[in-house]
Structure 1
């Protein structure tokens, strides 16, 4: 039963981490929506990239921890984090901005 208890605790921790990730991402998206560039790194602006770097690093670290917990539980990777990472980076000239 010890293994079952450990997995149950890990699953509860995973749920908490996913909730914290969503809250952090929503906070970052609100800042972006208010006009602060850099979260998605769509522009070649070093200042915007540097300003957003701590938030991106925090989200990436959180996403990696969640993925590790999900792997231990036999679950698929955290889709929200994968979508965030996929949305970052250079885009075509006709793409919608941040």
Structure 2
């Protein structure tokens, strides 16, 4: 994921959220200078991409996720990926209703 990719422009996401670089990147454990490099086109590592999606797109607070929930997600990912997709879709629909 690059900030210049047609799919995702990290800088644009940050701006739409009304956050400065320090606020945006510190939520996922990245320094402001590191975030600036990502916004300038440096490749973003997959773990950072995942955190970006969880925190800034899905609006999930990583501090509130329990270890057991992560274990269940990992199990579903390996054992029944279709069920995991269905559960995610339902969770998004319920979130929009709230």
| Rg larger for | 1
| Fold conserved between structures, TM > 0.5 | no
TM-score (norm 2): 0.27
Q: Relative contact order, CA 8 A, sep 6+: which one is greater?
A: 1
